[in-house]
Amino acid sequence: MKPSTRRRLFQGSLYLVLVIAIVALVFVADWKTIKFYFLDMDVAKQVWPDILVTAAKNTVVYTAIAFVGGLLLGLLLALMKLSPVAPYRWLSTAYIELFRGLPALLVIFGMAYAVPIAFSWHPPGGSAGAGLLALILVSGAYIAETIRAGIQAVPPGQREAARSLGMAPAWTMVSVVLPQAFRIITPPLTNELVILIKDTSLLFIAGMALGDRELTTFARDSLSQTANATPLIMAGLMYLIITLPLTQLVAKLERHQNRGR
Amino acid sequence: MNPRESVSATPAIEVRGLHKSFGDKEVLTGIDFHVDQGEVVCVIGPSGSGKSTLLRCVNRLEEPTEGTILVEGIDITDPETDLDKVRTRIGMVFQQFNLFPHLNVLDNLTLAQRRAKKRGKDEARRIAQGNLEKVGLGDRADAFPSQLSGGQQQRVAIARALSMDPDMMLFDEPTSALDPELVGDVLAVMRQLADEGMTMMVVTHEMGFAREVGDRVVFMDGGVVVEQGKPEDVLGNPQHERTQLFLSKVL
């Protein structure tokens, strides 16, 4: 058999497998049941517009708070990790390893239930506040590593140029190194943001008040009330509407950066 | 005593017994070196001879392992010395330009003036614009470094250093990263600076520049100063074998 024939046969069989799989899925699936449980328009009308104006809004607000908090904490940890003072480095490393090693779900649970008992202290903002604090603690650990990598990716000549002009280390960091570091890490930071959007779904474990519920908590509650999974589908769509533009943006930024090199 | 005289008697740069090691590799093995005020000293030598390391020790971008470095009589190896303040008096130009890519040309020139010299915005801009005119780039204040050629970037870097009103300038192979046709513009600016009486220490491979502009040429090899003197002597009639060998390769 000629190599070109063999290649064509191989490609043809790949397509064939795909077609068979799709056809099988369409015939085997129980479309009536799917439509009844997952695409019920009456249920959809019940949860609309609450799922948008309350749940989706809360998801976005929680993400924004956790991201800004995580950025500030991450910046602090990154600077500590690069500090000439050794104990700061150890502290930062220990923190980062701890919170990257623990499941976010467990940290949220601990902040909402264990911390109030152990320290007789309630994080501000009720369950939502406790959960958000936990998300900040966790995302800060990841963002710290991203920022540290960004700082180290700035060419050493930049720091040298600033220092040779007589600029103090702090000004050099603020005016020369950090602006370039953040430009370098915009794609990975946007990825952190996307992960954070989805991690707000873990807040359900904290037990949210009605008006505080984000998309997943809201959809789960609606699921138990209506015995119908349509709200889950709607919540999924909402997540995609929020995350897809961001992941597209990351792809665009990465293409742009690669072209610049 | 006339204070002016005492100032001019002090060398701009004086290096005594300088050693520098990276790990267990000794790059500088006992350097005694000076640059007088208003003097243009060109340092030449093969790569790995330690000439860039010597230059980078003068504003302590490299930490000397041993020895003393005096800049206008101030010991910069003394931990009590305000290094940032001394550095504002020493302009430095790098092989790779090292302009700040996130800032436009004008902001590149004003940043350190404002942060280190605490100059006001208007004053910093006026000084920056003046120095841009001087290097022939008065019309590129709004450009970003990425929009400039290598030669233009290096001239901006020179203008950036000049904007701090330094007493002396260090040049670390300023034309080595440039396309050959762009070298001339940068050398012309440096020649102009020398003519104005600027104290300059230039690490370079441009033998023509060293010959015509340098007051003194210093040949380094293996971490020591092998030979120094007037350019026509060192370049035209080298005494040491190593100098002869090096010059026979580059001239």
pLDDT, tens digit (0-9, with 9 covering 90-100), for A222-252: 898 888 989 999 999 999 999 999 989 888 8
User: How far is the CA of A53 from the CAs of A153, A221, A236, in angstroms?
Assistant: 41, 16, 16
Residue B8: the pLDDT is 57
Q: Is A161 on the interface with B (CB under 8 A)?
A: yes
Q: Is A160 on the interface with B (CB under 8 A)?
A: yes
Residue B3: the pLDDT is 43
Q: Please, are residues B199 and B122 in contact by the beta-carbon 8 Å criterion?
A: no
For tokens 């640059």, what's the residue? B35
Q: Is B87 on the interface with A (CB under 8 A)?
A: yes
Contacts of A183 in chain B (CB under 8 A): 102
Q: Is B60 on the interface with A (CB under 8 A)?
A: no
Residue of chain B whose Cα is closest to the Cα of A182: B102
Average pLDDT, chain A: 92
Please tell me the pTM assigned to this model.
Answer: 0.87
Q: How many other CB atoms are found less than 10 A from the CB of residue A230?
A: 24
Give the closest of B61, B99, B117 to A160, CB-based: B61
Percent of chain A residues past pLDDT 70, beyond the cut: 98
Residue B118: the pLDDT is 95
Residue A259: the pLDDT is 62
Which is more confidently placed, A1 or B138? B138
Residue A14: the pLDDT is 93
Q: Tens place of pLDDT for every residue, chain B, 251 residues?
A: 444 444 557 999 999 999 999 999 999 999 999 999 999 999 999 999 999 999 999 999 999 999 999 999 999 999 999 999 999 999 999 999 999 999 999 999 999 999 999 999 999 999 999 999 999 999 999 999 999 999 999 999 999 999 999 999 999 999 999 999 999 999 999 999 999 999 999 999 999 999 999 999 999 999 999 999 999 999 999 999 999 999 999 87
- In chain A, where are the structural domains located? 30-260
Closest CA to B28 of B16, B19, B37: B19
Give the closest of B94, B101, B112 to A166, CB-based: B112
* Section A176-196 average pLDDT: 94
**How far apart, in whole angstroms, are the C-alpha atoms of residue B16 and residue A256?**
50
Tokens of A220: 């789960």
Contacts of B87 in chain A (CB under 8 A): 163-166
Contacts of B90 in chain A (CB under 8 A): 164
Query: pLDDT tens digit string along A117-168?
Result: 888 888 888 888 999 999 999 999 999 999 999 999 999 999 999 999 999 9
Give the closest of B102, B111, B117 to A183, CB-based: B102
End-to-end CA separation in angstroms for chain A: 45
Three state DSSP letters for A9-24:
HHHHHHHHHHHHHHHH
Cβ within 8 Å of residue A62, ≥6 positions away:
A128, A132, A135, A200, A203, A214
What is the CATH code of the structural domain delimited by A30-260?
Answer: 1.10.3720.10
Q: Is A157 on the interface with B (CB under 8 A)?
A: yes
Contacts of A162 in chain B (CB under 8 A): 100, 111-112
Contacts of B94 in chain A (CB under 8 A): 157, 160-161
Distance in Å, alpha carbon of B100 to nearest chain A alpha carbon: 7
Q: Is A162 on the interface with B (CB under 8 A)?
A: yes
Question: Residue A92 — pLDDT band, cuts 50, 70, 90?
Answer: very high
Is the sign of the CA dihedral A235, A236, A238, A243 positive or negative? positive
